[in-house]
Amino acid sequence: MKQSIKPRPQIDLLADGILQGNRMMLSQAITIIESNLAEDQKLSSGLLDKIIHATGNSIRIGITGVPGVGKSSFIEAFGKYIINLGKRVAVLAVDPSSQLSKGSILGDKTRMEELSKNSAAYVRPSPAGNKLGGVAHSTYETILLCEAAGFDIIIVETVGVGQSEVSVKNVTDFFLLLMLAGAGDELQGMKKGITEIADALVITKADHDNVKHATAAKAAYQQALHLQPLARSGWIPGVLTASAHTGEGIGEIWKLILSFTEQTMSTGFFHDNRRQQGMEYFEDRFKSILYSEVENSPALQAEKEKLKHEIQQQKISPTRAAEMLLIAFHREAGMRKF
Ligand code: GDP
């Protein structure tokens, strides 16, 4: 469990600071949002109340790919490119490895060094929390905070393992999948169904000797994508090649993202999708609050353990046990003032 920041700034001051684009206050707010302490969770809601009116004005881009595909190099090149166009960029790097190894795949090396130093950029590594390979519960709120702080483009980066792609998709507008050329794996992504949720596939490292392989991989993906059903957005995914080293393809990717937003805004999908994501997050959050009420109550934990034991002894069915836990929950809740 994390330590909360002390001395803790007044929530009003923190909200004002964020709205003025103060990145130190933004960092403090994100730390509070990421905290599991009950008192910090209350502060988080208070803070979000004060900034929610200033959220929503960004393009949220999810970027995923296997370790070594070139995510951090790509984000560095892409981030610098859009900063040169006058945009402000926030990068939230969600690290799925942290609770497995207690170390970090994303954090071990210096990543996005130049971007981190740029005053128009904000780079924040985040633990994946208790969702294995997924996006931290706080990522959605962190996106809102970054928008309130005036960032136009929010990039959510995650390593492509397990369900992380789906979680990233659920909090972003545009989902970019980075792929390596060659290695005989052109169609590997297709099997896993990842490409079905991608709005663009980018073959990385398309430079020097690798240009030929990258171009061949692009053609193979384009071919294969034709067979996929049309996405809910009505958008046909783009397949591109890019090099973070030469800058080749970076501008085309930005153009593609702009045409995606233009198209989906004109059909209404863009905002419908955002609204749906908000609803799904509300449902998820409510479930996790309910669950943590049980987890944090010693009396309910004891009841749960007792019921588990009785299930194992075949004294009670899991169905009945779940109902009894709910009855115990109501009893507990009735004794408590919220
Ligand atoms: P990540 O683990 O997905 O974040 O990948 P990195 O960005 O750390 O890159 C992994 C390796 O690929 C590093 O050695 C990079 O220098 C190299 N790399 C990344 N992008 C490119 C590129 O555009 N061209 C070439 N030739 N190498 C690249």
Q: What is the mean pLDDT of residues 255-267?
A: 97
Q: State the pLDDT confidence band at 129, using cuts at 50, 70 and 90.
A: low
Distance (Å, whole) CA 151 – CA 145: 9
Nearest CA to ligand 1 atom 17: 70
Confidence class for position 338, pLDDT limits 50, 70, 90: low
* For residue 200, pLDDT beyond 70: yes
pLDDT at 331: 92
- Which is the closest atom of ligand 1 to the Cα of 65? 3
93 or 145: whose pLDDT is higher?
145
What's the rounded mean pLDDT across residues 277-305?
91
More confident residue, 233 or 37: 233
Binning pLDDT at 50, 70 and 90, where does residue 162 land?
Answer: low
Pairwise CA distance, residues 196 & 166, whole Å: 11
**CA–centroid distance, residue 70 to ligand 1 (Å):** 4
**Burial of 317 by CB count in 10 Å (0-12 exposed, 13-18 middle, 19+ buried)?**
exposed
Residue 163 pLDDT > 80, yes or no? no
Q: Compute the distance from residue 49 Cα to the ligand 1 centre, in Å.
A: 40
Tokens describing residue 36: 């599991």
Ligand 1, residue 73: give the atom nearest the CA. Answer: 7
| Comparison of pLDDT for 106 and 277, the residue scoring more | 277
Among protein residues, the one with the nearest Cα to ligand 1's atom 26 is: 205
Dig out the tokens for 76 from the structure: 């560095």
pLDDT at position 134: 43
CA atoms of 175 and 310, how far apart (whole Å): 46
Which residue, by CA, sits nearest to atom 28 of ligand 1?
205
27-56 confidence digits (pLDDT tens): 999 999 988 787 888 899 999 999 999 999
> Which residues have C-beta atoms less than 6 Å from ligand 1?
65, 67-73, 204-205, 207, 243-245
Tokens representing residue 91 in the block: 């990068």
Taking alpha carbons only, the member of 71, 208, 89 closest to residue 146 is 89
| Complete edge-to-edge strand list for the sheet that includes strand 174-179 | 121-127, 89-95, 153-159, 59-65, 174-179, 200-203, 238-241
pLDDT category at 132 given cuts 50, 70, 90 is very low
Q: Tell which wins on pLDDT, 58 or 104.
A: 58
- For the entire predicted model, the pTM comes to 0.88
State the pLDDT confidence band at 113, using cuts at 50, 70 and 90. confident
What mean pLDDT value characterizes the chain? 86
For ligand 1, atom 21, name the residue with the nearest CA: 205
- Residue 126: band (very low, low, confident or very high) from pLDDT cuts 50, 70, 90: confident
DSSP 8-state code for residue 208:
G
* DSSP code of residue 196: G
One-character DSSP codes across 38-69: HHHHHHHHHHHHHHGGG---SEEEEEEE-TTS
**Phi/psi of residue 125, each to 5°?**
-75, 140
pLDDT of residue 79: 97
Structure token digits, residue 96: 């799925």
Question: Looking at ligand 1, which atom is closest to the CA of residue 246?
Answer: 23
Q: Which of 4-8, 179-183, 188-192 has the lowest mean pLDDT?
A: 4-8
d(CA 114, CA 83): 12
Question: Is-contact 121 79, C-beta < 8 A?
Answer: yes
